[in-house]
Homo-oligomer: A and B are copies of this chain.
Amino acid sequence: MNMQTLIKPLIQKNGSKIVYIVLDGVGGLPVNSRTELEAAVTPNLDAMAAESACGLHTPVALGITPGSGPGHLGIFGYDPVDYQIGRGVLEALGLGLEIRNTDVAVRCNYATIKNGVMIDRRAGRIPTEVGRKLTERLQNEIKKIDEAEIILAAGMEYRFAVIMRFPEPLAPDAAMINDTDPQKEGKAPLPPSPMSGSAERVSRVAEKLISTAAEILKSEEKANFILTRGFSNMPHIPTFEEAFGLNAIAIATYPMYRGLARLVGMNTPVVEGTVEDQISFLKQKYNDYDFFFLHVKKVDSYGEDGNFEGKAERISEFDRLLPQIMNLNPEVVVVTGDHSTPCLMKSHSWHPVPVMIRSPFVLGRTCTGFSERECLKGELAILPAANLMPLTLAHAGRLKKFGA
């Protein structure tokens, strides 16, 4: 039995507030013997760790490096192996598109084709600005195919995303369509062939989209064709309200994370500005929600760049702002990350991620600071990410006793 099934009959509501802080990619590895968290100046996080239940979570499983989708689903309480998000959906969320249950999302490339075979699967890596203009042109000329509304969004360089929006909700297998990318130059593109009966209609729309786009782009030197990959529709995920009885809001400045939060039914207003602006927004909304997902992106960005000082400084910066959140006196505050991004590796990694849960009902005094090594001494030990939400609900008094 998974945790959500177990806790569902135990959920009870109360007036408690939960602030769930995700420092994206916060976990790290030592450079000159100190990790990013150890090098950062974090008196507030350290004091909080001493009064919190601390540990480390594995986003998916030991040794598994998560993408942003699985990383967030895990800490949101959904086993990322049970709930997988399609590539097309993630790409579209990252580009700020909204996904509905009527939609199929697709990752697309501009490509160069000649005499029916691929010459360049990335259209010579055309600049982002060129891609953006081509995408605008396609959107101007293609509004609808059959009964499906077509929505496009440009990405970096040769990348873009397409949403095909149908008039009614789609079957779970409606997006089971093969990629058209032949994976090698010198081969012909593949047809977007359906792998299920309910995908046939979507496949016909995709075929027409590809041929129409080719017609529009035929005079382009490089980007004269499109390749489509990762056809996917919205996963069937219980909402935060259904799964946990929580009225939740995401306070995230990047479209991808608002999109992920929207997949689990959080409210996702557009928020812009600095982390301090995000916290001001949280204060404004504090009376209106039970659960606040505060997403701090820049920590991960510096990790991906391998900028150790930059990542540590982003953590120190957050530490200086933490008292503004603590002053609201939420019943439960959680601080963690969605995955590790060690500067040493310049990428996401599989390493367990420090986490602390602060409430009046912790053992505490097991750790003297918030870091990978200190959290190892904590009362939560190493736990699966998907267990964090049940623990958080317990600390908030939102879980009844199991059995008599």
Which A residues fall within an 8 A CB radius of B? 1, 3, 6-7, 10, 29-30, 33, 35, 60-70, 80-81, 84-85, 87, 90-91, 342, 344-345, 347-352, 360-366, 372-373, 376-379, 381-383, 387, 390-394, 399-404
Contact = CB atoms under 8 A, between A and B. Distances in A.
A399 B350 contact: yes
Given A80-B402, A351-B361, A352-B379, 13 more contacts: A1-B81, A29-B362, A30-B364, A61-B390, A63-B391, A64-B390, A64-B394, A67-B402, A85-B403, A344-B361, A365-B373, A376-B381, A381-B381
Contacts of A393: 63
Closest 9 CB pairs of A and B: A63-B390, A67-B403, A63-B394, A70-B403, A63-B391, A67-B404, A62-B387, A350-B394, A90-B404
A403 B62 contact: no
A403 B69 contact: yes
A34 to B, nearest CB: 10
B69 A390 contact: no
B65 A390 contact: no
A351 B364 CA distance: 12
A349 B349 CA distance: 34
Given A30-B363, A361-B342, A372-B363, A6 B64 contact: yes
A351 B373 contact: no
How many copies of this chain?
Answer: 2
B65 A401 contact: yes
Contact of A68 (B391, B394, B404): B404
Nearest to A401: B65
Nearest to A384: B62
A274 B154 CA distance: 64
